[in-house]
Structure 1
Amino acid sequence: MRWPAKVAGISLLALVGVGPGMAHAQSSVTIYGIVDSGFTYTSNQGGKSLIQATAGNQQGSRWGFKGTEDLGDGLHAIFRLENGFDTYSGALKQGGRLFGRGAWVGLSSDTWGAVTAGRQFNPVQDYLSNDGVGNFTQFGNILYDNDDLNNTFRSDNSVKYTSPRIKGLQAEALYAFSNDTSAANNRSWSVGAQYANGPLRIDAAYALLDHPGLNTTGAIPSDNYYPTSVVSNVQRQEIWGVGGAYTIGALTVALLHTQSNFEMPTGNKDFSNYEASAQYWATPAWQLGVGYDFTTVHQSASGNAKYHQIGGNASYYLSKRTDLYLNVIYMHGSGGAAWINGLSNPSSTGIQTAAIAGILHRF
């Protein structure tokens, strides 16, 4: 049997005979990725200024495979395997996992939606990440990435249902198993919905994590959860949010509110986050972005804190696949040290500024 294939750097196509007298099923596998490298200047990390070679600044570097097989009658087998890596060291990201950014397989129906199983994003990440400042630079994400829109963790052992889009409305539901004799030891579930119609998009989602980070085998593995300097021994975490965006010609404006509550034996820690951003295509080659984040932290065991963050981005597209970027982020904290998301260390004061420049290529 001959397997006709077209290889153009990113795509393989094959027509496979499934058996005598049976219809042929069309399959496709796509190889894709992002390579992002640059340099970061920080005004204060641990009391000193710092210049670093940093990777994955605009978007995390990755390569992956995604595929589909037409099973007939509107039914498809689908899968995705996605690796994350550091361009400067070549090291694996996401705790050294081969496919740490995602690994799942499932079935998709034109009529009934899709069911997928594996390591994947929850509905909070799928929907709300579209509306935050981090949508155009990861350094624009809110303090500690407390709402996980910068994908500090993913959901292992998970099964997710995604509905078909009907009159602009789509919904998702995910359950991630603890894989423990006690079901409450590191499990998670999440639901969300999106309405998209023309220039308008509205998103809402909720996630519950039960004893997250308790081990490496449950829904939220400990080696992908928050560092102990942020939270430790979390009994329960809730994340919810609402957001949306509106596009007028070359301009897109977005608003987002998220709430992230941590329950711990030492006391609760609650984050309220508010974001506003705008992206504008000044020319077909120049994209400009600006965003503002405001976070309040309520801590039962210690004082409260407030954080203001302003960020700007300019991207110049050398082609559809390659762009040069410059990001500038400023954070001011009251009641706690400033720590811009994506930097390796916090400031020794309530103020921190970062400037990031680099190149990003998609394939």
Structure 2
Amino acid sequence: MKRISPRATSFAIAATLALAAAGAHAQGSVTLYGIVDAGIAVVHNAQDASGQNQSTLVKFSSGNLSGSRWGLRGSEDLGNGLAAIFQLENGFSVGTGVAGQGQREFGRKSIVGLASNTWGTLTLGRQYDPLVDLVQPLTQDGPFGGVFGTPGDLDNYDNSLRVSNSLKYTSPLISGLQFEALYGLGGVAGATGSGQTYSFGAGYTNGPLALAAGYFYANGGNTVTTGVRAWTSSSDSLFNTVINQGFASANSIQIVRAGGSYAIGAVSLGLAYSNTQYGSDGFSTFHQTAKFNNGSAFVNYQFNPALRAGVGYNYTSLTGPASAHYNQVNVGGDYALSKRTELYALAGWQKASGHTLNSKGQAIDAQASIGDFGVSSGTDTQALAVVGIRHKF
């Protein structure tokens, strides 16, 4: 007899619950939704298997505009403008079928909570922080994804980091103003601050103008293995590429982000800034706070309802235990075949200079790695091009 995997069983149960709940209109509603995004990428200057030589890489690439996912969201009307809500969202690779976010079942998001028309929304679980909710939509991450992002996603531009074991409050929209606050519990006996995360932010929208800013702090705890902090209590890790892997032993992450966008007819403009600081302690391989300052700008043009194109520039500087600079230029375009399906093309180029640190705290030449694409160049320049298709359901 063929054995059914636990993951397949979970999916079947979730789908059955969704269909059953959809028929129970008196109790509430459940929606099954998702995104499937995949393409082919060509990267000029990518490290080979030895980690030494620079080669041209041609690869299948999943989740270029949007991370591929499927999810369930639902609500139950409790009366007087109050509803019980939940959302479960799984991320996966189209090319391999493997679950993302550390192969978690619902690694992208898993929340339950209450939503009030008057008092706002309180959610508990694994979720996004206020900077992702409020600032990220004002950047190029929305239309063109992480390829346009900060090198190595070092400031969580492309939401590499999510917060587990957390509570989040989101205010109602009041005259265009909305604010959020989040706290992630560290869960360490006798040390409340170990592993904790907290964040807050605010956004304002008035016609074509949108502004947002926020603050994020996460403590990594004291569990360090081979120079890498565990980051298991409430926050994920951001140290996934050559850009900032030398600071993976940091005991804290602190991020300040602000952004704004303005629409003028078919043209939309945007500016964003972030300051990211990785703090050290006695377990760290570096001994001075690493400070990354990043500024970005973009211009998008909607040629017609189906065709859109954009260009972006991103500058990043590192100070503290090392000094490095990263200049990045991106272009992109997408064409809607329907309301749910689109074709896209993306390209990027980056130049790195100066020095950063490796995992042992030693100075090394800075290497390029475009946006959140996650491929190390092994040298100071990198270029890439991606074409693909995205379908929403």
Give CA-to-partner distance per residue, 1:267-323, whole Å, 9 cap, x none: 3211101010122210111011111101011132x3x11111110111011001000
Q: What's 1:115 paired with?
A: 122
Cα distance in structure 2, aligned partners of 1:13 and 1:276: 47
Contact 1:160 1:172 (C-alpha < 8 Å) held by counterparts: yes
Cα distance in structure 2, aligned partners of 1:97 and 1:143: 25
Cα distance in structure 2, aligned partners of 1:30 and 1:237: 35
Give CA-to-partner distance per residue, 1:131-152, whole Å, 9 cap, x none: 2232322111111111112111
Report the CA distance between 1:177 and its aligned residue: 0.1
Report the CA distance between 1:262 and its aligned residue: 0.4
Q: AA paired with 1:357?
A: V
- Consecutive unaligned residues of structure 1, counting only runs of 5 or more, are 1-7, 17-24
Residue 199 of structure 2 aligns to a residue whose secondary structure is strand
Residue 40 of structure 2 aligns to a residue whose secondary structure is strand
Q: What's 2:298 paired with?
A: 277
1:322 to 334, 337, 341: 341
Give CA-to-partner distance per residue, 1:5-42, whole Å, 9 cap, x none: xxx99x935323xxxxxxxx5x1111110001101001
Residue 186 of structure 1 aligns to a residue whose secondary structure is coil
Cα distance in structure 1, aligned partners of 2:377 and 2:249: 25
Cα distance in structure 2, aligned partners of 1:214 and 1:120: 21
Cα distance in structure 2, aligned partners of 1:248 and 1:216: 43
Alignment of 1:278-357 (within 5 A): 278-300=299-321, 302=322, 304-335=323-354, 336-357=366-387
- Runs of 4+ in structure 1 off by over 6 angstroms are none
1:166 to 174, 177, 186: 174
1:34 aligns with 2:35: yes
Report the CA distance between 1:345 and its aligned residue: 2.8
In structure 2, relative to structure 1, the CA distance for the partners of 1:344 and 1:210 (3 Å cut) is closer
The share of aligned pairs that are identical, in percent, is 37
Contact 1:186 1:215 (C-alpha < 8 Å) held by counterparts: no
Q: What's 1:219 paired with?
A: 234
Q: What's 2:7 paired with?
A: none
Alignment of 1:21-60 (within 5 A): 25=27, 27-46=28-47, 47-60=54-67
Q: AA paired with 1:349?
A: T
Q: AA paired with 1:178?
A: G
1:258 aligns with 2:269: no
CA RMSD of aligned residues (A): 1.9
Q: AA paired with 1:243?
A: G
Cα distance in structure 2, aligned partners of 1:353 and 1:214: 31
Cα distance in structure 2, aligned partners of 1:344 and 1:171: 32
Q: What's 2:186 paired with?
A: 178
Residue 102 of structure 2 aligns to a residue whose secondary structure is helix
Alignment of 1:233-252 (within 5 A): 233-252=249-268
Q: AA paired with 1:309?
A: Q
Tell me how many residue pairs correspond in the alignment.
343
Report the CA distance between 1:214 and its aligned residue: 4.5
Contact 1:133 1:275 (C-alpha < 8 Å) held by counterparts: no
Q: AA paired with 2:392?
A: R
Report the CA distance between 1:229 and its aligned residue: 2.6
Residue 29 of structure 1 aligns to a residue whose secondary structure is strand
Q: AA paired with 1:226?
A: F
Contact 1:133 1:292 (C-alpha < 8 Å) held by counterparts: no
In structure 2, relative to structure 1, the CA distance for the partners of 1:328 and 1:225 (3 Å cut) is closer
Report the CA distance between 1:71 and its aligned residue: 0.6
1:149 aligns with 2:162: no
1:208 aligns with 2:217: yes
Q: What's 2:93 paired with?
A: 86
- Consecutive unaligned residues of structure 2, counting only runs of 5 or more, are 1-17, 48-53, 222-227, 355-365
Cα distance in structure 2, aligned partners of 1:276 and 1:344: 21
Cα distance in structure 2, aligned partners of 1:299 and 1:310: 25
Cα distance in structure 1, aligned partners of 2:341 and 2:267: 21
Alignment of 1:11-26 (within 5 A): 12=22, 14-16=24-26, 25=27
Contact 2:220 2:231 (C-alpha < 8 Å) held by counterparts: no
Superposition TM-score, scaled by structure 1 size: 0.90
Cα distance in structure 1, aligned partners of 2:246 and 2:130: 24
Q: What's 1:5 paired with?
A: none
